[in-house]
Amino acid sequence: MAHHTLESRLPQLRLAVLDVDGTLKQAESPYRYLHRRLGVADLAAPNRELALAGQINYAEWLRRDAALWAGQPVRKLRRILAENPYLPGAPELLAALKQAGVVVALVSAGFTLNTDPIVAEFGLDYALANELTTVDGVLDGGAINHVPEGGKAAFARALMTDLGIPPEQTLAAGDTRGDLELFACAGLRFAVNPRSTALRARADAVFEPDLTGAVTWLTERGYLPQESANQRISESANQRMNE
């Protein structure tokens, strides 16, 4: 882990807006993860190539990918997504933030089937992600794009305005160039295994290969209270050992 020290810049955190895939969860893309697990990676490859070449926009890419999963039971996808593990240190970070009274929001260009279980597990406050549409518990091949380009920043700014929380008390975390817009909103920025040199350069702390040490980083600098963070980390570890 590398970091820059900012001890005098920020008061205690009140809001954390976190990317999910590659930041909290190990798979960098839930789309590629599902394509691989469902055996449609070869069919999905042309969609990715067209999108990266700028020949289709993100909404169309989402629509085409979702169409490949038509007919799949929601229950099956939930099970597959649950098998995508957290990055080490991510559960402890989420638990410590909540224990300290920080408002925690997830924002993902993935989908709600992936974010909803995290919200439920840790009692998080907000989440925004794209939505796969269903009929009678089965994917119908449709999708609703709730997180368009620029959508992460818009979500973060709306939360900050509604809650009256300034950038100086806001943490953002991400792993790709697409999270730069999120970094622009926050006073404290975590890059997790950054796949973008620009994101790495903008980060106040870089965590590699995982989030182990993130809670310590925050508590040592006064962004989280030491006592409550330690208590919640211990509770989280015990709970997960008993699962």
Of 21, 65, 179, 204, the catalytic one is 21
Q: Which amino acid is at 158?
A: A
Residue whose tokens read 């817009």 = 181
d(CA 49, CA 54): 9
Neighbours of 84 (CB within 10 A): 15
d(CA 83, CA 177): 26
d(CA 170, CA 13): 6
H/E stretch holding 75? helix 74-82
Residue whose tokens read 């960098």 = 28
Sheet holding 15-18, edge to edge: 2-3, 205-207, 188-192, 170-174, 15-18, 103-111, 126-135, 138-144
Closest CA to 172 of 15, 4, 8, 1: 15
Retrieve residue 72's tokens.
């799949």
H/E stretch holding 118? helix 112-122
Catalytic residue at 21? yes
Catalytic residue at 19? yes
Retrieve residue 243's tokens.
């699962």
Of 19, 175, 179, 204, the catalytic one is 19
Residues 6+ apart with CB under 8 A from 201: none
What residues act catalytically?
19, 21
